[in-house]
Amino acid sequence: MSMRTGDFYQSRFIKPKDLNGPTLVEVSHMASETFKDSPEPKPLAHFKGMRKPLVLNKTNTQALEDIAGTDLMDDWPGVKCVLVPGTTPVNGEQKPTIRIEPPSQKELPTRRPIKPSSPQVKGHDDMDDEVPF
């Protein structure tokens, strides 16, 4: 059995290597946590079907706000977005990162078309009139 470093040093938060490419997710709830490197609490996004939350930086917080159409985080549950693993330059080095992007139309579930009701005229369908040719 092969051992990996992640078997011993699990992060409590989603990391880019946890994702297998761009991943469509739905916000289940929001929380916040204060970390030792910053006195200000940071928002955490929890997603349906994922056990780890994502710590939101300012860029991703703004992205979710734009996708949700509101800055009220209590309204974000149910919002769908795509987590995209990638890299970003930090002090001249490329560091792994996750970006939040809006889902494309093809990633959103298609709504069932509403069945048009048959127009009724005096008890019969008005489309069955005889048309002389």
**pLDDT tens, residue by residue, 47-104:** 999 999 999 999 999 999 999 999 999 999 999 999 999 999 989 999 999 999 999 8
pTM, two decimal places: 0.72
pLDDT higher at 10 or 57: 57
pLDDT band at 110 (very low <50, low <70, confident <90, very high): low
62 Rama sector, left if φ>0, alpha if ψ -120 to 50, beta otherwise: alpha
Q: Contacts for 31-39 with beta carbons within 8 Å, 24 or more apart? A: none
Of 2-6, 9-13, 25-29, 119-123, which range is least confident? 119-123
If residue 86 lies in a helix (H) or strand (E), which one and from where to where?
Answer: strand 80-90
Helix (H, G, I), strand (E, B) or coil at 33: strand
Which residue is listed with tokens 């159409």?
A: 69
Nearest to 100 by CA among 119, 80, 114: 80
Alpha carbons 5 and 66: distance in angstroms, whole number: 36
Of 16-20, 34-38, 47-51, 114-118, which range is least confident? 114-118
